[in-house]
């Protein structure tokens, strides 16, 4: 048996905020538990039955009743408010976050760094950097949970979710899958390895840990571009709108009108859907002629394609 721990490690910028609320609630719980246990024991002893025919004396008090109905309302609203404040820190990634890709799969975690380096079940990250994880599952629901960072986010099939953190401490931290996902759920664990930024840069140079063939990592948008060419996407999706298909240049983040008259924002989920299930939402003025790619592309491929399309929007606008 390893040493006994009482507190989890504190290794991200938000962890102290979560702990502050946690320990406030611990104090509150202990306080009320002691007070109520005290009252129950005191009343039980003081008013214990002293003779066989004794009965209690009625006691009612509307004032007491109203006060302990109203007072807790303020207390719980305060807790609610504090919880929301911490929650916003947890769920809204800062603007300058760098995106890493995560794919969950029974029972492994796949990671891709911004420079295209890939890892399985281990994620090396630089300390002090805002990092946002774009996550998707290839099969069932998983959940990305790093106790030392106090973050948790479900990883869903068919939809991107995000989590973010900024690690404050060098070291190795547990990564757990927190949503039950079948046979080896409890072995779907990994490590987040936090390094000094310089160390991390050196580590990135070392080449791929996943495949020997990838001696030099290729960034996701480059991989996407290569795939875009291979699949022949460019024959319809050209630099300018063609009669066959809309151009993808400068479209990311804009609103487009669909054939049914509704509008949709061009974001990661929309792009993903339009690649895999191309008939679902057709842009106004075009025919549904694009092939369906569901079952032909892995989630990693799709993420790379989306990254490429995203890069088109950013550069040419």
Query: Between residue 277 and residue 296, which ones bind other proteins under the rule CB under 8 A?
Result: 277, 280, 294
Question: In angstroms, rounded to a whole number, what is the distance separating the alpha carbons of residues 137 and 50?
Answer: 66
Task: Name the nearest CA neighbour of 249 among 260, 264, 234.
Answer: 234
Question: In angstroms, rounded to a whole number, what is the distance separating the alpha carbons of residues 48 and 237?
Answer: 85
**Interface residues for other proteins in 61-100 (CB under 8 A)?**
61, 64-65, 68-69, 72-73, 76-77, 79-80, 82-92
- Find the part of the chain contacting other proteins (CB under 8 A) among 31-39, 112-120, 257-265, 303-311: 31-39
**Residue choice 10, 21, 249, 290 for contact with other proteins (CB under 8 A):** 21
**Residue choice 94, 128, 182, 291 for contact with other proteins (CB under 8 A):** 182
**Interface residues for other proteins in 186-215 (CB under 8 A)?**
186-187, 189
Q: Residue 26 Cβ, how far from other proteins at the closest point, in Å?
A: 8
Question: In angstroms, rounded to a whole number, what is the distance separating the alpha carbons of residues 276 and 124?
Answer: 30
The DSSP symbol for 161 reads E
Question: In angstroms, rounded to a whole number, what is the distance separating the alpha carbons of residues 222 and 264?
Answer: 26
Question: In angstroms, rounded to a whole number, what is the distance separating the alpha carbons of residues 90 and 14?
Answer: 7
Task: Tell how strand 98-105 and strand 108-112 pair up.
Answer: antiparallel
Q: Residue 239 Cβ, how far from other proteins at the closest point, in Å?
A: 32
Q: Residue 95 Cβ, how far from other proteins at the closest point, in Å?
A: 17
98-105 β-sheet, strand order: 118-120, 108-112, 98-105, 131-137, 161-165
Asked if 209 and 121 count as a contact pair (C-beta separation under 8 A), the reply is no
**Interface residues for other proteins in 134-153 (CB under 8 A)?**
139-141, 143, 145, 147-148, 150-153
- Find the part of the chain contacting other proteins (CB under 8 A) among 126-134, 178-186, 192-200, 282-290: 178-186
Q: Residue 282 Cβ, how far from other proteins at the closest point, in Å?
A: 15
Q: Report whether the peptide linkage leading into residue 100 is cis, meaning its omega lies within 30 degrees of zero.
A: no
Which residue number, 39 or 244, has a Cβ lying nearer to other proteins?
39
Under rule CB under 8 A, how many of the chain's residues touch other proteins? 93
**Residue choice 36, 120, 202, 292 for contact with other proteins (CB under 8 A):** 36
């Amino acid at each position: 048996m390893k040493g006994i721990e009482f507190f989890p490690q504190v290794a991200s910028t938000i962890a102290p905020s979560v702990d502050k609320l946690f320990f406030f609630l611990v104090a509150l719980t202990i306080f009320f538990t002691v007070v109520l246990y005290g009252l129950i024991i005191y009343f039980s002893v003081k008013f214990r039955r002293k003779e066989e025919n004794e009965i209690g004396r009625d006691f009612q008090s509307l004032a007491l009743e109203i006060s302990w109905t109203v007072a807790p309302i303020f207390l719980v609203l305060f807790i609610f408010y504090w919880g929301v404040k911490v929650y916003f820190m947890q769920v809204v990634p800062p603007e300058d976050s760098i995106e890493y890709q995560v794919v969950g799969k029974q029972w492994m975690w796949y990671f891709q760094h911004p420079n295209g380096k890939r890892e399985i079940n281990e994620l090396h990250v630089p300390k002090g950097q805002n990092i946002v994880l774009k996550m998707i599952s290839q099969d069932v629901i998983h959940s990305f949970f790093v106790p030392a960072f106090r973050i948790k986010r479900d990883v869903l099939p068919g939809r991107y979710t995000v989590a973010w953190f900024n690690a404050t401490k060098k070291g190795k931290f547990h990564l757990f899958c927190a949503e039950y996902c079948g046979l080896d759920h409890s072995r779907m664990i990994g490590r987040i390895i936090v390094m000094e930024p310089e160390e991390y840069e050196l580590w990135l140079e070392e080449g791929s840990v996943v495949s020997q063939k990838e001696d030099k990592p290729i960034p996701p948008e480059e991989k996407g571009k290569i795939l875009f060419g291979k699949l022949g996407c460019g024959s319809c999706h050209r630099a300018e709108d063609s009669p066959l298909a809309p151009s993808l240049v400068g479209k990311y983040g804009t609103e487009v009108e669909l054939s049914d008259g509704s509008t949709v924002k061009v974001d990661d989920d929309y792009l993903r859907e339009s690649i895999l299930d191309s008939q679902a939402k057709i842009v106004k003025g075009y025919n549904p002629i694009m092939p369906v790619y569901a079952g032909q592309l892995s989630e990693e491929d799709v993420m790379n394609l989306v990254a490429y399309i995203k890069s088109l929007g950013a550069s040419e606008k």
